[in-house]
Structure 1
C-alpha cells in the first residue's frame, strides 16, 4: 500500500504549523509488467504538488503558476535533468534487484527516493533527508551527521560500502540538503506568497446534475486557502444536510472549493437560500441566491417538451434498427449465405498514474 500511495502522489501527512515548511522531491522507478510509467518524479512544497515528470511524456509540467517565474529555460533544464535521473534510477533498480537475487524476476519491483529539506521559520532549524526504499520498504538512507549511509536491509551493505567510499558525492549531498535545497525552499515560498497576495475574485457557481440532486456551490480561481464557503437559509447560517468539500489545488496555482446542499426543490423555492463565499485575501463577500435561473445544469428542467423530444428520438432509432435487421435477414435468406460474425474487441483501459512529477532540482544529476 505504501508503494502505491507514493506512486499516485498521495502522502499520509500530519498537520504542521504554518511556520514549518518543506520541499520534497519523490522519484519512483518501476520494473515488470505494469501500466504505470517506468519512471515518475513529483515535487511538493509544503506537501502541495508544484510540478511533475514521467517517462511517458518526458516533459516537466509545472502545477503552479508561480513556478514559471524561473523562465522556460529553467523548465527545459529540469526536463533534461529528469530524463537523466530516469536512467540513473533505472540502473540502481537493476543493481538492487541483483542484490536481492531477483535479476530474473518478472514481477513488479519498485525503487523510490525522496530528497528534500525542512525549515522551521520560527526557530531557523533546518533538516535534510535522503532515504531510498525498495519494494515499499526502507533500504538505505543518508546520515548528514556522519556523511555515511545507514542500511535497513542486509542486502544494502554492498551499496553502503560503495557509497561510503565516494567522499565527493557525500559532500555534494551534504551541501545540497543543508544549503541548496533550503535556498530553493525559501525562494519558492516567496514566489507562492506573492501569488497569494493577488487580488483576483473567485468565480462562484451553483451546479446541479438533476432536479433531485444536491445543489453544489462551487468557488474557484482564488489564490488563498483561507476562503470560507457556507450556505444560509433566510439569512441564518444553515448546516443541516450540508456537506463540506475540501479545498483543492487547480493546475494554474489557484484553488477551488465546493459545498453541497441536499434540499428538495419545493423547499428552496419557498425559502431564501444563499451561498456565501468569503475571501479574506481581498476582504470581500460574494453571494449567490439559490434560484432556478442561477442553477447551471445539463438537465433541462425548464423545457416541458424535452421528455417528448427524447422519446421521439429513441423511438425513431429503434424503428431504424428493426428495419435494418429485417432487411439484413431477408437479404441473407435470399442469398443462402451463412451469417458472418465480427470480432469486436473493446479497447483496453490503461491505468496511467496521476503522478505528479516534479521538477527535479540539479540533485538528480548526482544520482
Structure 2
C-alpha cells in the first residue's frame, strides 16, 4: 500500500491509475483521504485482502484535496474522496466533484438520513456536553440552549466557531430552531466564555477537568479516547467529567459523520463502488467503532468498544445529512455576527 503525501505522489497516482487500466480493470483504487487516523490502515489492508484491489492513498487537508481534484480535472487519478463532516462533503458535491452511486447494498445497509444520491456516511460521532462535576450540575446543561444560560457566565470553554464541528451544530440548530434564535444563542454563548476559543476538543475537555472552565461541547470520540487511555493523567481527566446527551426531550443529540463519494472522473469506478460497499460491511463498520470510537452507520452492527458501551445509548438527531450540510454557511454568518470566532 502506497502512502502518498507529496506533490510527486500525485504524479505517482496518475501513473498507477494508468498502469491499473493497462493491466487489469479496476485492480487499483486511488483514495484521497482527509481522515487523519493511522488506524484506518486496517480498513485499506482488509479491503485489499478481500478483493485483491490495491489501494493507493493521498492524505491531505480537505481544502487542499478539493483544490487538487479541481485542478487535475478529467485527468485526476482520484477515485474516492473520504472526509469528515457533512458540510465538507456537500462542498465537494456542490463543486461537481462527485457522481451518483447506485448500489442496492448501500441502499439496504445505510439509513436514508445518512446518505445522499452522491455521497454516503459510514460512521457517526455525537456532539455532547461535558461538564466538571464539581462546578456544574448535570441538570443545568440538558440542552445546547442551556449553554447560553446566564448562570454559566465565565464557565464555557469551546473551540473556534469557524470549525466545521461547531458549524455543523449551528446548522442543525438553524434547521430546528431558526436562524435568528441560533444567532441569539451564539451571542449569549460568547458572553459565557471563560476564555477566547482555542485548541481542539481534547484541549477543552482537559480545561474543564482542570477547572479552567465548567463546561464544554465535544465530539464523543475525543471523550472515548481519553476513557480508553492507559495514561494516568488521562484517567484523572475522565474522573472529573460528567457527560450529557443534549436535547433528549426534543430533536435529539446532534451527530456528524465521516463519509465518502465517488469522484465524477474516477478511472476505477467499479473498484470505488466496491470500496463504498465494503465500508458498509459488518467488519468495516465494527472497525469504525473499535478502531476510532465512532458509531457505525449500520445500527445492527455489534460493537466491542468499552468506552462507547460506558457512554450508553441516546436519541440522535435524524435530520438528513444533506439538509444539515446546506445550513453550514448560514451558521458561519450567524456565528460571525455573534462574535464567535
Would you say same fold, with TM above 0.5?
Answer: no
Higher fraction of strand: 1
The structure where helix makes up a greater share of residues is: 2
TM-score (norm 1): 0.20
Give the number of the structure with larger relative contact order, counting CA–CA contacts within 8 Å between residues 6 or more apart.
2
Q: Which has the higher Rg, Structure 1 or Structure 2? A: 1
